Copies of this chain bind each other. A is one copy, B any other.
Amino acid sequence: MYMDILQRLGDLRELMTREHLAAFIFSSTDPHQGEYVPDHWKGREWISGFNGSAGTAVVTLESAALWTDSRYFIAAEEQLRGTGFQLMKLKMPGTPTIAEWIGKECGAGAEVALDGWCSSANAVRELIADLRRQGGITLRTNLDPLAQIWRNRPPIPENPITIYPLEYAGETAHDKIARIRKALRERHADGMLMTALDDIAWTLNLRGSDVHCNPVFVSYLLISSKDVTLYINKVKLSPEVVAYLKTEGVGVDDYENVAKGLKDYFEYNILLDPDEVNYVLFKTVTREIVEEESPVKRMKTVKNEREIAGFRSAMLKDGIAMVKFLYWLSGISGKSGLFGLSGETELSISDKLASLRAEQPLYRDISFDTIAGYGEHAAIVHYEPTPETDIPLQPKGMLLLDSGAQYLDGTTDITRTIALGPLTEEEKKVYTLVLKGHIQIELCKFPSGSSGTQIDILARKDMWREGLNYLHGTGHGVGTYLNVHEGPHQFRMEWKPAPLVAGMTITDEPGVYLPGKFGVRIENTLLITPYKETEFGQFLQFESLTLCPIDKTPIVWEMMLPEEIDWLNRYHQRVFDTLSPYLNDEETAWLRDACAEL
């Protein structure tokens, strides 16, 4: 593999020399600022070999470096070996910023470049300012070297689109567009350009399969006070979809025509979210720009009654599949005996779990690549087993399993950490701290409009007393048969102003990762519901949508508060009552034991 990388770096440097460029910057995203991107835009992975979801690669004529966050430190270290890329660990002391590093490597006055289609307006504007401070380095944004040097580059996907039934969506596209127009008027905007693929899919009640695990389709949506235009490769549209779009008042134009559409946009102003719209399109606009967060982002996160019913249905099915899987795993894991793990590996159990999910009605796909990390692999936060890294499970230690599915009625995301046999005291203590953190979030009641930054600490406070922490967020929104990561609300240490309101989904997934030893994460997906209204306003609470037992065997009971034990008992009772009607006798017996009160 690294030989390929060296060849590609050679081709790139040749092109850079021709273009008089001192460096080229590869972002991790695409013209739609997606987290998962179609292969066509995986330029950063192609040039560096690093396949994590977040990372920026920079190549100079002499050197190369890749910036990524703590989730990927271990994976990146391995994937970059032999490529010449130096790993830059974000948020670690001593790590230079991209601009600082370029300043040092290229010197004042250099010209560097990136593809302005594949970075947001804000990202590019910040980079331009940062580079200017490095003795005046300038940035060129109109070059995509991959068009010249990437042989056999995958095309932009052309998969067919389907209509998302109203019984699951709960609101017509026509009505959503009316709400969006109202939100635009409140922001004194005449129209907007929508570029986020999940926002477009949600608005139009359409789904596609252009992006791995995310049922979205590559397109832009331009809304003015009079028209709505979908910019898309028309080959994707069946006659049925064409007719549907017409009914909902949506016109269609070619994907390549979006820049022309923006140039021709004739109203006084247009709302563009500078964190979402790519730099090239942003610069195309000649009208007044209202720079604000896209109002669709937040509208999409507040689920309506049909969507919530769909989530409950999807979670029931997902819980059944998970319990069938855990029952199967317990049979071979030696927990109920000592007969070993029958040659099962991280990959084989991931396949087993996927096949059990696929048996459920309305199953469509997994919602992200399964993270099945056994033993020290679990300390690699976003470890996804490959044939090269796959290892057999053994009847000891812990398995971290983070997985989810796309059902037509909802998207799921669940993590369990499962003891496969005897554990060390450290494993038990850390497991218990993570579980306490998880439960403290579940128990939280809070004023409507609180931010996830306020609530996040409840998952961490007990581990902080032990000097432990985790550097990822504690939770993210989940889409309705859409992206498993849905913003803007989150639980995290960093400031997230998005207020939490009733109807939002959010995951609760604290963890602790000890490199070379083990990792623990416990995750449910929660729904925000009303709690009580008092003279101090409306208070909200969380309801666990996820239905699956949490392994009790690693728990150090003396570390648990009575309210935490009580929550676990109540949760397990609900899991048992809800799932057992759908299980056979053996599975029910196993579940009864797994959910037994303490």
Chain A residues proximal to chain B, CB less than 8 Å: 443-447, 450-451, 453-458, 461, 464-465, 467-469, 493, 495, 497, 531-534, 536-537, 539, 561
A493 touches B536 (CB 8 A): no
Min CB distance, A585 to chain B, in Å?
40
A458-B461, A467-B539, A561-B561 known; 20 new pairs, CB 8 Å cut-off, are A445-B464, A445-B465, A445-B467, A450-B493, A451-B453, A453-B453, A453-B454, A453-B495, A454-B454, A454-B456, A454-B457, A455-B457, A464-B539, A467-B533, A467-B536, A468-B534, A468-B536, A469-B536, A469-B537, A495-B497
In whole Å, how far is A523's beta carbon from the nearest beta carbon of chain B? 20
Look across to chain B and name the residue whose beta carbon is closest to the beta carbon of A533: B467
Question: If the complex has contacts A453-B495, A469-B537, A495-B497, are A446 and B458 also in contact, measured as CB distance less than 8 A?
Answer: no
**Bound-complex Cα distance A446 to B534 (A):** 32
Which residues of chain B are near A461, meaning CB under 8 Å?
444-445, 458
12 contacts between A and B (CB under 8 A): A447-B464, A447-B469, A451-B453, A453-B453, A453-B454, A453-B495, A454-B493, A467-B533, A467-B536, A468-B536, A469-B536, A561-B561
Top 8 closest pairs, chain A to chain B, by CB? A467-B534, A469-B536, A445-B464, A445-B465, A454-B457, A467-B532, A495-B495, A467-B539
A467 to B536, CA, bound (A): 7
- Residues in B neighbouring A469, C-beta threshold 8 A: 447, 536-537
- Cα-based distance from A495 to B537 in the complex (angstroms): 20
Establish whether residues B493 and A464, one from each chain, have CB atoms under 8 Å apart when the complex forms: no
| Most chain B beta-carbon contacts within 10 A, residue among A467, A469, A495, A561 | A467
Chain B contacts for A532, CB-based, 8 A: 467
Q: Which residues of B contact A561 (CB under 8 A)?
A: 561
Of B464, B533, B536, the residue contacting A446 (CB under 8 A) is B464
Residues from chain B with a CB closer than 8 A to the CB of A536 are 467-469
Min CB distance A135 to B, Å, is: 13
CA distance A531 to B458 in the complex (A): 19
List of B residues within 8 angstroms of A446 by Cβ: 457, 464
Residue of B nearest to A447 (CB): B469
Docked complex Cα distance between A138 and B526 (Å):
48
Residues in chain B near residue A467, CB distance under 8 A: 445, 531-534, 536, 539
* Closest B residue, CB atoms, query A536: B469
For A538, give the chain B residue with the smallest CB separation: B467
Complex CA gap A467/B532 in Å reads 7
How many angstroms between the C-alpha atoms of A450 and B453 in the bound complex? 11
A518: min CB distance to chain B, Å: 14
Q: Complex formed: what's the CA distance from A581 to B471 in Å? A: 47
Residue in chain B with minimal CB distance to A93: B537
Instruction: Select the residue from A453, A455, A464, A537 with max chain B CB neighbours within 10 A.
Output: A464
Closest B residue, CB atoms, query A467: B534
Q: In the docked arrangement, what's the CA distance between A304 and B562, Å?
A: 42
**Nearest chain B residue, comparing its CB with the CB of A457:** B454
| A451 CB contacts on chain B under 8 angstroms | 453, 495
**Chain B nearest CB, measured from A539 CB (Å):** 6
Residue of A443, A454, A537 with most chain B CB atoms under a 10 A cut-off: A454
A438 → B minimal CB distance (Å): 15
Q: How far is the CB of A537 from chain B (nearest CB, A)?
A: 7
Instruction: Give, as a whole number of angstroms, the nearest-CB distance from A533 to chain B.
Output: 8
Bound-complex Cα distance A17 to B346 (A): 81
A332 vs chain B, min Cβ distance (A): 35
Nearest-neighbour CB distance to chain B for A186, whole angstroms, equals: 12
